[in-house]
Amino acid sequence: MAVILLSPSDMSSNLFPLLCCFSLALFGQFERGTLSVGAGGGFTAGGENLYLTNYLPNSAAFSAAYEFRLFKYLAPEVGVVNLTPLVPQFGKYPLPPTRERITLVSLGARGILPLDQGRIELFAGGGAVNVSSSDTYLQLGGWIWQVDGGGRVAIGKRRRFWVGPTVRLSRNGGRPTEEWVTLTGDFGFRF
């Protein structure tokens, strides 16, 4: 029996791909993975962190997600949502607004309810989100929690392509509170 000792930096760079390969070999079956992309809107929902986010306008939101169906009703999910607000610049002289990027990377799980013999699916889930921004003035960063929900409908008899909406609420549990809401229309491919 061999024991392999890895430093924390080695574990983060080597363990994740190893676990991914192991999980695909162990659970890999057809029609278990769903890759989806979407577009919609992103909004600051309030909270107590308004002194940092209250001047951010509503913006476009672009999403991508991968879901791996472990069981009929449960799937871990990883996703990313990019918001692109036009941020006003404040200064002594009028400055033009700049286009910034706010990225929400999520890790979590979803419960799935198949309806109409599997042609329609409703889902709800939760997880953790890492928030980052291209603008250092916004002082966004760190981990917050997220709940999401939505539905999708299969297109065609083979049920390879899916469309439907997804809404996500991301919120910081500490003080000051920070909240984000995104609503996207998603197109998915199941393989």
Task: Tell me the chain's radius of gyration from C-alpha atoms.
Answer: 19
Q: How much is the pLDDT for 4?
A: 47
Residue 12 lies in a domain: no
d(CA 127, CA 145): 6
First to last CA, the chain: 37
For residue 86, being part of any structural domain is answered with yes
Examine residue 11 and state whether it is found in any structural domain, yes or no: no
> Is 44 within a domain?
yes
CATH number at residue 163: 2.40.160.20
**Domain interval for residue 116:** 31-190
Q: Which amino acid is located at 60 in the chain? A: A
- Rounded to the nearest angstrom, the gap between the alpha carbon of residue 158 and the centroid of all alpha carbons in its chain is 27
> Do the domain assignments include residue 8?
no
C-alpha–C-alpha distance, residues 169 and 45, integer Å: 9
Mean pLDDT split into 10-residue runs, the chain, 191 residues: 45 47 48 93 70 72 96 95 86 84 94 95 96 74 89 94 96 73 96 90
Residue 4 lies in a domain: no
Please state the domain count of the chain.
1
What is the pLDDT, as a whole number, of residue 77?
96
**Predicted TM-score (pTM) of this structure:** 0.76
User: Considering the domain boundaries, does residue 51 fall inside one?
Assistant: yes
Q: Is position 80 within any domain? A: yes
pLDDT of residue 46: 64
Tell me the three state secondary structure of residue 136.
helix
User: Where would I find the H helices in 28-174?
Assistant: 50-53
User: Over the range 135-155, which residues count as b (16 or more CB within 10 Å of their CB) and which as e?
Assistant: beebebeeebebebbbbbebe
Q: Are 140 and 105 in contact (CB under 8 A)?
A: no
